[in-house]
Each structure stands twice: as structure tokens, then as C-alpha cells.
Amino acid sequence: MTTPAPVNLTAALATFDEVYSPRIVARVNDYDVRIAHTAGEHVWHVHEATDEFFLVLDGRFDVALRDPDGTETTVRLHRGDTFVVPRGTEHKPSSPGGAILMFEPTGTVTTGDTDVTVPAHVDRTAGHQL
């Protein structure tokens, strides 16, 4: 058996600059552990079949949530905070700058299950290998 090498998240984040373009740092069963730089606004989107877990590694990360009636609430997260967006909840991340770790099923696309217009600074991907 080959022992997997540990991944230092600080060093891994230093290998790329793109924002909202997650890198896969590990796999746990059928889930990806992804890291990403954050800055600016993401897009409103929804993941119908899965929750989305966030851990703020650095800076600040906000998650706006939209109820089915259109009411919006924003959750403000700081370094060390975790938050889970429940499946089926429309949400839009934003950040003045920072880094996050996400935990979600392999193949989950960053912009959700519906076609949305994606700005140039947001990568529509299921994650890139580190």
C-alpha cells in the first residue's frame, strides 16, 4: 500500500491565482475536497441534489441565500467559519478577498444545476486537479 502524501493548503493555494476556480486537493469516498481563491461576486445558482459545505481558510466569504418567496439573507463568514448551504437553496457567494475549502460530491459543477450567465472571473467547472 502506498501512503498518500499530505497536502499543505497554504502551499496549494500558492500554486494558482485564479478566483472561483477550485482545485481538488483530496477525495473522500465520492466527494471532492476543493480549495479556491475568492474575490468579487459569484453567480446565483442552486445544487438541487446536494448540500454545499464551505470552510473559510482566509479573509471573508459571504453567502447570500434566496428563499422561494424571493427573500434574501446574507451569511457573513470569517476565517475558521464553516457553513452549509442546504440542497435546493439558491445562493450567491461573494468575497472582498480570501480563500475557501469546499466539500461536495465529485462532479458537482461550481455554477449549479441550471444554465446561468457566468462572468469571466468565475470558472464553470467540477474542479481542477491541483
Percentage with pLDDT > 90 across the chain:
77
Whether the Cβ atoms of residue 79 and residue 59 lie closer than 8 Å to each other: yes
9-129: which CATH topology?
Jelly Rolls (2.60.120)
Report the predicted TM-score, pTM, of the whole model to 2 decimal places. 0.90
* The predicted structure's pLDDT at residue 59: 98
Summarised one tens digit per residue, pLDDT across range 71-94 is: 999 999 999 999 999 999 999 999
Phi-psi region of 109 (alpha: psi -120 to 50; beta: other; left: phi over 0): beta
Residues in Cβ contact with 68 at an 8 Å cutoff, skipping those fewer than 6 apart: none
Between CA 55 and CA 121 the distance in angstroms is 21
Residue 12 has what DSSP assignment? Answer: H
Residue spans of the domains in the chain: they are: 9-129
Which pLDDT tens digit goes with each residue over 18-60? 999 999 999 999 999 999 999 999 999 999 999 999 999 999 9
pLDDT for 123 beyond 70? no
Write down the pLDDT at residue 27: 94
Q: Rounded distance, CA 118 to CA 103, Å? A: 22
